[in-house]
Amino acid sequence: MKKMLRFATVGSVDDGKSTLIGRLLHDSKNIFEDQLEHVAEISDRRGSDFVDLALLTDGLRAEREQGITIDVAYRYFATPKRKFIIADCPGHIQYTRNMVTGASNVDAAVLLIDARHGVIEQTKRHSLLASLLGVPHVIVCVNKMDLVDFDENVYEGICEQYRRFSERLALKDVTFIPISALAGDNVVERSANMTWFNGGSLLHLLESMYVAGDQNSIDMRFPVQYVIRPQTLNFPDFRGYAGRVSSGMLRVGDEVTVLPSGFNSSISSITTYDGSIEEAGPGMSVTVQLNDDIDVSRGDMICRTGNVPTVDQNLDAMLAWLNHLAELQVGRTYLLKHTTRTVRCKIQQIQYRLDINTLHREQGVDALAVNEIGRVSLRTSEPIFFDDYRNNRVTGSFILIDEASNLTVAGGMLRRIEK
């Protein structure tokens, strides 16, 4: 069975993100002939002397008219070695919130830098967001090398410039590669124009990237999404708890604790659509049965006994504000959705706002505007069960919802409060 890799393309506007994805799809033979003909027809109508592969991902009319990416575009393709899900994220500052949603659950971020311009503001912004979102791997692609005559010194200078900035970020694994997305150099095949580069192509890097170790396989967390009680003749006493494994491994016979009640039991069976299994890992949707009759409802969490998450109403989080209609204000009340549990919460304090360019912490602020990031203190109406985001990206994240409009207005990353 092929392993799946999710990655996002990020970077400033016009750095070539959509073109890179189009080139990946084209050169890896993942485009149908009618799709290519349609793109070639549009390119010719515009007077282009080449096939604009960016049109494969820029599907909105406004995107094609302006030549930019506005919404996150998802594309799927496969090679003999791996399956891929790509999130093509917009580069404009006003669409930074779209980048947050696109990169929130990826295994890697492919960060593009224009070889003519080097590291600019939006490069820093997206790098900071990748760091805050805990993206395990970052591939820095210095693009448009054909426009600087494939100069090795230009490439090395940009790499050094980025290293100096990224030293202040919590990026775990950073890899550099020089490419030309338009011409296909070092995208799927190694480039004959950059023989001075000893690494492989971008696709080779994506195919060989090891991501299994990025998952939290220690802390077993199973948020209950639905209680299954068929009460039929075939299943008269069946009581199962359906959900998706957030992290760790569920095994038949494991001693577990149910939150918030704190009652203990053990797993009697694990069932999927295809039948019973002995164990389930992160990302698997299963139904769990327990050996004891315990009151378990949607929003509860099943954990391994002796390894339970933090249970608290007072939360400390990094918050990315996504709403362009109103600012985040101290004292406001929102709905907080965390795994399968939704509670009301109140913004107690904005500890600081983060300057994305300088990484300076601006204290004494009482509001966050759209695309701004800050550290906030919240209090929920009921306790939630969470881990530090740096240890568990699923149980350490949440969204805020405006009660009046039902719009998602913020994404948050929880930090454990040291007591």
Strand 263-272 relative to strand 397-401: parallel, antiparallel, unpaired?
unpaired
| CATH number, span 3-214 | 3.40.50.300
Average pLDDT value over all residues in the chain: 87
Q: Could you tell me which of 16, 11, 10, 13 has the C-alpha nearest to residue 144?
A: 16
Q: Which positions ≥6 away from 364 have C-beta within 8 Å?
A: none
Q: Which helix (DSSP H) or strand (DSSP E) does residue 401 occupy? A: strand 397-401
For residues 345-367, average pLDDT? 90
What percent of the chain stands above pLDDT 70? 86
Q: By the 8 A CB rule, do 211 and 107 touch?
A: yes
Q: Which residues face 251 on adjacent strands?
A: 279
Beta bridge partners of 142: 113, 178
Distance CA 141, CA 137 (A): 13
Higher pLDDT, 298 or 36: 298
**pLDDT tens digits, one per residue of 28-73:** 877 655 565 656 566 566 666 555 566 656 554 444 444 444 467 7
Q: Which residue spans within 59-208 are E strands per DSSP? A: 73-78, 82-88, 108-114, 137-143, 173-178
- Summarised one tens digit per residue, pLDDT across range 224-248 is 999 998 766 566 678 899 999 999 9
**Residue 41: Cβ within 10 Å count:** 12
Model pLDDT, residue 233:
57
Q: What is the pLDDT of residue 241?
A: 96
Cα(184)–Cα(171) distance, integer angstroms:
28
Q: For residue 86, give Cα distances in angstroms to 31, 36, 188.
A: 14, 19, 15
Hunting for tokens 């080139």 — which residue is that? 23
CATH 2.40.30.10 positions along the chain are 221-304, 310-415
Give me the percent of the chain exceeding a pLDDT of 90: 60
pLDDT: which is higher, 25 or 96: 25
Task: Of 78-82, 139-143, 229-233, 369-373, give the range with the top mean pLDDT.
Answer: 139-143
Q: What pLDDT, on the 0 to 100 scale, is given for residue 94?
A: 64
For residues 147-154, average pLDDT = 96
Q: What is the pLDDT of residue 180?
A: 95
Indicate the CATH number of 310-415 among 3.40.50.800, 3.40.50.720, 2.40.30.10, 3.20.20.70: 2.40.30.10
Query: Which pLDDT score is estimated for 252?
Result: 96
Q: Average the pLDDT over 318-324 and give the result.
A: 91
Portions of the chain given CATH number 3.40.50.300: 3-214
Q: Please say whether the structural domain 221-304 has been given the CATH code 2.40.30.10.
A: yes
Residue 172: partners with Cβ closer than 8 Å, 6 or more residues away:
136, 137
Report the C-alpha gap between 74 and 86 in whole angstroms: 5
Q: Is the pLDDT of residue 389 over 80?
A: yes
pLDDT for 363 beyond 80: yes
State the amino acid at position 245 in one-letter form: V
Give phi and psi for 212, each to the nearest 5: -60, -35
pLDDT for the residue numbered 399 = 95
Residue 112: which pLDDT band, with cuts at 50, 70 and 90? very high
Residue 69: per-residue pLDDT: 44
pLDDT at 55: 62
Upper half-sphere CA count for residue 188 (Cβ side, 13 Å): 16
